[in-house]
Copies of this chain bind each other. A is one copy, B any other.
Amino acid sequence: MASITDVARLAGVSTATVSRVVSLAPYAVNPATRERVLEAARTLDYVPNALARGLHKSHVPVVGVIVHDITDPYFAEVVRGVEDAASVGGFLVITCSSDRIAEREHSYVRLLRSMRASTVIFAGSGLTDPALNAELAMHLNAMRAYGAAVVHCSPHALGDAEIGIDNAAAMEGIVVALANLGHRRIAFLAGPASLYVSHERLEGYRRGLAATGIGSDPRLVVSTGFNQESGALGVDALVAAGAPFTAICAANDLLALGAIQRLAELGLDVPRDVSVTGFDDIPTAAMASPSLSTVQLPLKEIGRRAFAFAERVLAGETPKNDVLPTTLVMRGSTGAPPAEAAEAAAIQRVPTAVVA
């Protein structure tokens, strides 16, 4: 492994000169000398040591992205966006799947700090865990102290996302759309209460109800996980609660997909018997059947912007926070509620199916 010293020796110059040419420093180097250095570097297959460079500069061109689970298409998209933006500047992207476990999130951030990552992006929502958030704050401040940038793509303990979307407004929109279709009994699969984003989306659901004059029924709101299985479980909980409903509004797509699956198992047709909506518009949403009505988030763009934001912070600027637009996309999983009689029939059918 050739080092800068070897290159310097071969080119017959000092290491300072080599450094100046290979690191593209804004320092005048005689073109002839420069060429000689480049030639030597090529001959020796010299690749600068980023660690040594980082040791000196106090941080390395690495951005850590904390996600809940890279296997969740939502996060995969965001990470891809970050990667695309980061790679043009020669930054590497570290993904950290926390599984929403405070301890894992904390230890990942610590690791990122020990690596002197130049930026950490929280792709998912923050956890409502005071102990974690205190620890986190310490690490993040230490990171900022050595010059790192910190970006959130979702609400978190310390406030709003630097790059985000208006969760409440979007959710309100989809509830209103459901109401416009004629639904009055709209259930809500709320996601984990331990996530800030769940609260925002629930708030949007409530606002949607209020905006359309629909009274809220606590039996129609169930707290869940954030994956497909939770969607199925959520439907079971709703059925067990006993309050009739003609639509299910889920806090994310995975939940909605799971709900549709369970509904089918219960013999209920979507959207004939029950309409279902998601949130996020992950790639699968469009290709599921029925295709899912949902709110489309510019996931990749969020990732790209998050990195761009960090880049500006690293450059010493103080960029403004950004709220990206979302768009409602109504597909096959929503329709008018069944006629009064049909509705009653559908509801009655449920208990039977559950027993079966």
Contact = CB atoms under 8 A, between A and B. Distances in A.
A153 interface: no
A257 interface: yes
Contacts of A51: 51-52, 54-55, 60, 115-116
Interface stretch (A12-20, A71-79, A305-313, A333-341): A71-79
A110 interface: yes
Interface string A101-124: 000100110111111100000000
A104 B80 contact: no
Contacts of A108: 87, 92
A84 B284 CA distance: 25
Nearest to A2: B142
Contacts of A345: none
A70 interface: yes
B80 A76 contact: no
Interface stretch (A42-50, A154-162, A208-216): A42-50
A49 B90 contact: no
A343 interface: no
A142 B111 contact: no
A83 B54 contact: no
A83 B64 CA distance: 13
A87 B97 CA distance: 10
A116 B80 CA distance: 23
A109 to B, nearest CB: 10
Interface range, A side: 35 or more
A80 B73 contact: no
Contacts of A142: 1, 45, 47
A149 to B, nearest CB: 16
A140 to B, nearest CB: 12
A194 interface: no
Contact of A71 (B80, B228, B289): B80
Contacts of A116: 49-51
A26 B142 CA distance: 29
Contact of A50 (B83, B114, B138): B114
A71 B69 contact: no
A356 interface: no
B114 A47 contact: yes
Contacts of A138: 45
Interface string A209-250: 000000000000000000010000000000000000000000
19 contacts: A1-B142, A45-B142, A49-B55, A50-B114, A51-B51, A51-B52, A51-B54, A55-B55, A70-B70, A71-B77, A83-B95, A84-B97, A87-B108, A92-B96, A92-B115, A93-B95, A94-B95, A284-B284, A284-B287
Given A47-B114, A84-B97, 12 more contacts: A45-B138, A47-B142, A50-B116, A51-B52, A64-B92, A70-B80, A71-B73, A92-B94, A92-B111, A287-B288, A288-B289, A289-B289
Interface of A: 1, 45, 47-52, 54-55, 60, 62, 64, 69-71, 73, 76-77, 79-80, 83-84, 87, 90, 92-97, 104, 107-108, 110-116, 138-139, 142, 145-146, 228, 257, 261, 283-284, 287-289
